[in-house]
Amino acid sequence: MADLTLTVDGKKLTAPAGTLLIEACKSVGIEVPSFCYYPNLSLQGACRMCLVKIEKMPKLQTACTTVISEGMVVATDSDEVRQARKSMVELLLGNHPLDCPVCDAGGECELQDMAFSYGAAESKFMEAKNHKDEQQWSPVVYFDRPRCILCYRCVRVCGEGMDVWALGVQNRGVSSVIAPNKQDHLECEECGMCIDICPVGALTSGAYRYKTRPWEMNHIGTTCTHCADGCKTTLGVRRSDTGMEIVRGDNRDKSGINNDFLCIKGRYAFDFAHSTERLTQPLIRKDGKLSPATWEEAFALAGKNFAEIRTAHGGEAIGVVGSSRTTNEENYLLSKFARMVLGTNNVDHHRTADFPALAAALRGKSGQTASMRDVLSAPAILLIGNNPTEQHPLLAWQIRSNVRLRRAKLYVVNSQPIKLRRQAAGFAQIPAGAEAHAVAFLAGDDAALDHLVHQSATRESLLALRDKLRAETGLVVAFSSEIRGADVARLVHSKFAGAKFIALADYANSRGAADMGLYPDLLPGYEPLTTDSRFAQEWGTLPTVPGLTVPAMAAAAKAGTLKALYVVGANPVARFGLDPFAFSGSFVVVQDMFLTETALMADIVLPAANAYEKSGTFTNTCGDLQLVKKAGEVAGVKSDFEMIVRIADAMGFEVRKLVPFGGGTHADMGQSRGAQSGEADRHSVWLEAHGLEPRMSPFDPVAIFDEIQRLVPSYHVSRLDLLAGNDQHTDIGEAGPGAAHDPNLIIPANDDLFSSGTLGRYSHTLNSVMENKNAPAPSEVGAD
Amino acid sequence: MASLVSHPDEIRVVTKRFGQGATDLDRYLALDGYQAIQKALAMTPDDIITLVKNSGLRGRGGAGFNTGMKWSFVPKQSAKPKYVLCNGDESEPGTCKDRLIFEHDPHSVIEGVMIAALAVGSHTGYIYIRGEYRYLSVIMQRALKDAYARGFLGKNIFGSGYDLDIYWHGGAGAYEVGEESALMESLEGKRGIPRIRPPFPAVVGLWGGPTVINNAETLASVPPIILGGPDWYANLGTPKNGGTRMFCLSGHLNRPGVYELPMGYNLKKMIYEVGGGIPGGRALKAVVPGGSSTPILLADEIDVAMDFDSLAKAGSMLGSGGVVVLDDTTCMVKFALRTIKFYQHESCGWCIPCREGTDWLKKTLTRFHAGAGMKKDIDNIYYLAENMLGKTFCPLGDAAAMPTMAFVKKFRKEFEDHLDGKPCPFEKAAEPVMV
Amino acid sequence: MSVIKNIGAIAKGMSITFGEMLQPTTVENYPDGPGPLKGAQFQERFRGTHVLQRDENGLEKCVACFLCAAACPSNCIYIEAAENTAEQRISGAERYAKVYNIDYNRCIFCGYCVEACPTDAITHGHGFESATFNASALVYRKEQMLSPTPAHMGSNSVFNHADVEAGAPALPQAGS
What mean pLDDT comes out for the span A726-733?
A: 93
pLDDT value of residue A533: 86
Interface partners of C (3+ CB pairs, < 8 Å)?
A
The ipTM of this complex is 0.88
Q: Which helix (H) or strand (E) holds A235?
A: strand A232-240
Same domain, B320 and B344: no
The CATH number linked to A183 is 3.30.70.20
| Span C50-86, pLDDT tens digits | 999 998 888 999 999 999 999 999 999 999 999 998 8
Same domain, B201 and B167: yes
Computed on alpha carbons and rounded to an integer, the radius of gyration of chain B in Å comes to 22
C64–A209 CB contact, under 8 Å: no
pLDDT value of residue C25: 78
Same domain, B120 and B30: yes
CB proximity B353 to A under 8 Å = yes
CB atoms closer than 10 angstroms to residue B133: 21
- Where does B60-177 have alpha helices with state H? 67-72, 97-104, 106-120, 134-149
Same domain, B177 and B50: yes
Which pairs from A653-660 meet CB under 8 Å and 24+ separation?
A653/A341, A655/A698, A656/A698, A657/A340, A658/A333, A658/A336, A658/A337, A658/A340, A658/A341, A658/A698, A659/A333, A659/A695, A659/A698, A659/A699, A659/A700, A659/A703, A659/A704, A660/A695, A660/A703, A660/A706, A660/A707
- The stretches in chain B having pLDDT less than 50 are 1, 429, 435
Show which of A504, A526, A550 is a domain's final residue: A504
Interface partners of A (3+ CB pairs, < 8 Å)?
B, C
Sign for the pseudo-dihedral over CA of A583, A584, A590, A594: positive
User: What is the DSSP code (8-state) at residue C81?
Assistant: E
φ, ψ at A303 (rounded to 5°): -60, -45
φ, ψ at A470 (rounded to 5°): -70, -25
DSSP-assigned beta bridge partners for residue A527? A523
pLDDT value of residue A671: 46
Across C9-42, b (16+ Cβ under 10 Å) vs e yields: eeeeeeeeeeeeeeeeeeeeeeeeeeeeeeebee
Whole-number Å distance between alpha carbons of B154 and B150: 10
Is A771 part of a structural domain of the chain?
no
A-proximal residues of B, 93-152, CB under 8 Å:
none
Count how many domains chain A has. 4
Chains B and A touch, using 3 or more CB pairs below 8 Å: yes
pLDDT value of residue A681: 61
Chains B and C touch, using 3 or more CB pairs below 8 Å: no
pLDDT value of residue B254: 94
Whole-number Å distance between alpha carbons of B369 and A689: 73
What mean pLDDT comes out for the span A754-758?
A: 89
Same domain, A457 and A474: yes
By the 8 A CB rule, do B347 and B355 touch? yes
| Residue to test with chain A: of B355, B374, B377, most A Cβ within 10 A | B355
| Span B312-325, pLDDT tens digits | 999 998 888 899 99
DSSP per-residue letters across B270-318: IIIIIS---GGGPPEEEEE-SSTTSPPEEGGG---EESHHHHHHTTS--
Which of C166, C168, C118, C162 has its CA nearest to residue C141? C168
φ, ψ at A426 (rounded to 5°): -145, 135
Q: Say if residue A496's pLDDT is above 90.
A: no
Same domain, A333 and A411: no
CB atoms closer than 10 angstroms to residue A57: 12
Alpha carbon of A722 to those of A220, A333, A697, A733, B116: distances in Å? 15, 20, 21, 20, 64
Instruction: Tell me the residue range of the domain where B254 lies.
Output: 244-327
Alpha carbon of B241 to those of A348, A542, B233, B307: distances in Å? 88, 99, 10, 6
Pairing of β A587-592 and β A604-607? parallel
Average pLDDT, rounded, for chain A: 90
B349–A59 CB contact, under 8 Å: no
By the 8 A CB rule, do B249 and B289 touch? no
| Span A545-598, pLDDT tens digits | 999 999 999 999 999 999 999 999 999 999 999 998 999 999 999 999 999 999
Whole-number Å distance between alpha carbons of A660 and A534: 16
**Is there a cis peptide before residue A379, judged by omega within 30 degrees of 0?**
no
Q: What percent of chain A has pLDDT over 90?
A: 75
Is A606 part of a structural domain of the chain?
yes
Instruction: Give the one of A100, A210, A213 whose C-beta lies nearest to C83's C-beta.
Output: A210
Whole-number Å distance between alpha carbons of A77 and A505: 52
B352–A48 CB contact, under 8 Å: yes
Same domain, B322 and B396: no
Whole-number Å distance between alpha carbons of B170 and A394: 43
A210–C69 CB contact, under 8 Å: no
- Where does A472-578 have alpha helices with state H? 486-492, 510-515, 534-539, 550-559, 572-575
pLDDT value of residue A663: 61
Whole-number Å distance between alpha carbons of A529 and A544: 5
The single-letter code of the amino acid at B255 is R
C65–A213 CB contact, under 8 Å: yes
Same domain, A461 and A527: no
The CATH number linked to A466 is 3.40.228.10
Alpha carbon of A347 to those of A317, A547, A597, A659, C143: distances in Å? 12, 7, 20, 19, 57
Which of B158, B148, B101 has its CA nearest to residue B125? B148
Whole-number Å distance between alpha carbons of A280 and A70: 66
What topology does CATH give the domain C49-165?
Answer: Alpha-Beta Plaits (3.30.70)
By the 8 A CB rule, do B22 and B15 touch? no
Alpha carbon of C166 to those of C88, C143, C148, C160, C162: distances in Å? 15, 15, 18, 10, 6
Q: Say if residue A531's pLDDT is above 80.
A: yes
pLDDT value of residue A276: 92
Whole-number Å distance between alpha carbons of B266 and B287: 13
Is B407 part of a structural domain of the chain?
yes
Is A342 part of a structural domain of the chain?
yes
Is A684 part of a structural domain of the chain?
no
Burial of A645 from C-beta contacts in 10 A (0-12 / 13-18 / 19+): buried
Is B276 part of a structural domain of the chain?
yes
Detail the DSSP E strand segments found in B100-238: 124-129, 165-170, 211-215
Taking the CA of residue A95 and the nearest CA in chain B, the distance in Å comes to 8
Q: Say if residue A675's pLDDT is above 60.
A: no
Same domain, B315 and B339: no
Q: Which residues of A touch C67 (CB under 8 A)?
A: 101
Least confident of A159-163, A272-276, C123-127, C150-154: C150-154
A-proximal residues of B, 363-392, CB under 8 Å:
363-364, 367, 380, 383-384, 387, 390-392
CA-nearest residue of chain C to A212? C81
Same domain, A33 and A67: yes
The CATH number linked to A633 is 3.40.50.740
Give the pLDDT band (50/70/90) at residue C159.
Answer: very low
What are the extents of the domains in chain C? 1-41, 49-165
Same domain, A656 and A517: yes
Q: Say if residue A666's pLDDT is above 50.
A: no
CB atoms closer than 10 angstroms to residue A48: 26
| Span A256-265, pLDDT tens digits | 899 999 999 9
Instruction: Tell me the residue range of the domain where A175 lies.
Output: 91-205
What mean pLDDT comes out for the span A738-753?
A: 84
Count how many domains chain B has. 3
The CATH number linked to A18 is 3.10.20.740
Q: Say if residue A225's pLDDT is above 70.
A: yes
The CATH number linked to B300 is 3.10.20.600
Is B12 part of a structural domain of the chain?
no
Is B252 part of a structural domain of the chain?
yes
CB atoms closer than 10 angstroms to residue B381: 25
Whole-number Å distance between alpha carbons of A433 and B190: 42
Whole-number Å distance between alpha carbons of A227 and A54: 48
By the 8 A CB rule, do A603 and A589 touch? yes
Q: The sheet that has C139-140: what strands, in order across it?
A: C77-83, C95-103, C139-140
Q: Which residues of B touch A169 (CB under 8 A)?
A: 191, 349
Same domain, B318 and B336: no
Least confident of A178-182, A482-486, B48-52, C41-45: C41-45
| Span A180-224, pLDDT tens digits | 988 888 999 999 999 999 999 999 999 999 989 999 999 999 999
Same domain, B261 and B363: no
Q: Which helix (H) or strand (E) holds C102?
A: strand C95-103
Burial of B9 from C-beta contacts in 10 A (0-12 / 13-18 / 19+): middle
Same domain, B249 and B205: no
A215–C66 CB contact, under 8 Å: yes
CA-nearest residue of chain A to C65? A101
Q: What is the pTM of this model?
A: 0.89
Q: Say if residue A511's pLDDT is above 50.
A: yes
Instruction: Give the one of C64, C66, C93 whose C-beta lies nearest to A99's C-beta.
Output: C93
What mean pLDDT comes out for the span A334-360?
A: 94
pLDDT value of residue A455: 79
Is B278 part of a structural domain of the chain?
yes
The CATH number linked to B75 is 3.40.50.11540
CB proximity C94 to A under 8 Å = yes
CB proximity A131 to B under 8 Å = no
Same domain, A170 and A106: yes
Sign for the pseudo-dihedral over CA of A257, A263, A267, A268: negative
CA-nearest residue of chain C to A144? C94
C65–A216 CB contact, under 8 Å: no
Average pLDDT, rounded, for chain C: 84
Residues in chain C: 176
Is B7 part of a structural domain of the chain?
no
Interface partners of B (3+ CB pairs, < 8 Å)?
A
